[in-house]
């Protein structure tokens, strides 16, 4: 009986996650239109197993938000503005614009690991669009970051797509992204907003 109750509880939890929690995580802060509209870089990870579109409104114009985006990257760059003890070796993300990190170009790498590997810049159109990708053994990841004017401020929309390889490592990677990315990206978006609004005030 205990085993049956445990299985029933797990099944109920899984259903609740899929029906109620997962949809909110995958479009946190984004409108329905933003979540379903095509974005640059969608073709990098076709037939994605995971697609998440998240957004925040920032009380600062795009030209003042953009510098915070182009200096992102772990270890040798300004950080990811998320939980630094997880993705930046405990080094705090920058709380200022770093001039020497403002010259990002297609082909550059924004590190996610100490060995310098990470997101490759696929496309950059200042101050509106940044498309990143990872092609790894576990699968392919695309990340599109867009900025547009919204009143006197900006609308920052980020889309993540993951196409995992049909291997144990690929499935483990997908599971990690499924749960962990929401936590990290939410923190990232809120921190970028706070940094940009603080600098603009």
Distances (CA, A) of 196 to 30, 38, 69, 74, 94: 19, 26, 10, 19, 12
- Reduce the DSSP state of residue 45 to 3 states and report it: coil
pLDDT value at residue 13:
47
Choosing among 1.10.510.10, 3.30.505.50, 1.10.3720.10, 3.30.530.20, the CATH entry for 2-200 is 3.30.530.20
For residue 110, pLDDT over 90 is answered with yes
Least confident interval from 15-19, 85-89, 125-129: 15-19
The predicted model scores a pTM of: 0.90
User: What is the residue extent of each domain of the chain?
Assistant: 2-200
């Amino acid at each position: 009986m205990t085993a049956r109750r445990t299985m029933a509880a797990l099944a109920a939890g899984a259903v609740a996650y899929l029906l109620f929690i997962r949809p909110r995580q995958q479009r946190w802060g984004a409108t329905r239109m933003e979540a379903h509209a095509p974005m640059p870089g969608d073709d990098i990870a076709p037939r994605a197993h995971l697609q998440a579109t998240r957004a925040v409104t920032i009380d600062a114009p795009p030209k003042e938000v953009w510098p915070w985006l182009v200096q992102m990257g772990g270890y040798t760059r300004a950080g990811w503005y998320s939980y630094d003890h997880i993705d930046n070796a405990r080094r705090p993300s920058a709380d200022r614009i770093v001039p020497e990190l403002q010259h990002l170009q297609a082909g550059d790498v924004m590190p996610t690991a100490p060995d310098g590997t990470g997101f490759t810049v696929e496309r950059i159109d200042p101050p509106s669009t940044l498309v990143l990708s990872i092609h790894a053994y576990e699968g392919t990841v695309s990340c599109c970051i867009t900025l547009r004017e919204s009143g006197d401020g900006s609308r920052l929309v980020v889309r993540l797509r993951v196409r995992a390889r049909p291997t144990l490592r690929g499935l483990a990677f997908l599971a990690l992204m499924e749960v962990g990315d929401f936590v990290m990206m939410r923190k990232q978006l809120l921190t970028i907003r706070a940094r940009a609004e603080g600098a603009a005030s």
